[in-house]
Amino acid sequence: MKIAIVTGASFGLGRSFVRRLDRLGGLDEIWGVARRRNRMEELTAELSTPLRPMELDLTRPESVEVLRKRLEETGADVRVLVNAAGFGKFGTYADMTLQETGDMIALNCRAAVALTAAVLPHMSRGGRVLEICSSAAFQPLPGFNVYAATKAFLLHYSRALRWEVAPRGIRVTAVCPGWIKTEFMEVARDTKNGRTVRHYPFALRPETVARRALRDSRVLAVTTCGLPALVQRAASKFLPHCFIMACWEGLRRL
């Protein structure tokens, strides 16, 4: 049985990946992983590929074990893994609670690594892993500090993992877009200082990111899915981080 696994499948970018994978076809099932089962069940009505909703909270280590056991029981061949679960919070160190920072690290870093490790033994040649990072991974971002740091971790993890699994014929791609028009902003603003970042220039539609990411994952180690994030990536290689952070500080307050 050929399947794809998409985390964060109940809304936003994860939901768009489910739809895109369904349109591309060639799968027996898509497994959606998220906390909100009802939203995944609503999605099944518009898909031609069967969607198996898995109501799991990936910040809890036992959730990954549930998925691992399900893979062992079914003997599924995972053709695509999309780690789209993740979230961010706006605010400086003084604005963030320990719970908020801990949850960001747990979901964006620990859960992504644990779930990838659980899935890789069930991937064969030609399989693809898409780790949803962010253009925030390319440099430190004051006022968005912890989120950017977690995505930098995931970017470096993805690039090294690509080399480790290359002998098995598996490709790993770090997906690093800029702003995306999803519920992400509402969640990010729900903090003590949610106006730390006020505008989201050049925001992409989630459908655009999903389409480009799946296309690029056949070849590229890193994809930005758009020109603004590509420029940001290039600038981070040639300009001092202190200069980029100063520009960010001005832009985020406009």
**Annotated catalytic sites, by residue?**
147
Taking alpha carbons only, the member of 150, 169, 161, 2 closest to residue 71 is: 2
Q: Give the DSSP letter of residue 192.
A: T
3-state per-residue secondary structure call for 214-247: HHHCCCCCEECCCHHHHHHHHHHHHCCHHHHHHH
Q: In terms of C-beta distances under 8 Å and separation of at least 24 residues, what long-range contacts does 51-55 make, across chains too?
A: 51/18, 51/22, 53/9
Taking alpha carbons only, the member of 4, 41, 12, 9 closest to residue 187 is: 12
Q: Which residues pair with 7 in a beta bridge?
A: 33, 83
Return d(Cα 5, Cα 78) in angstroms, integer. Answer: 7
Return d(Cα 170, Cα 116) in angstroms, integer. Answer: 12
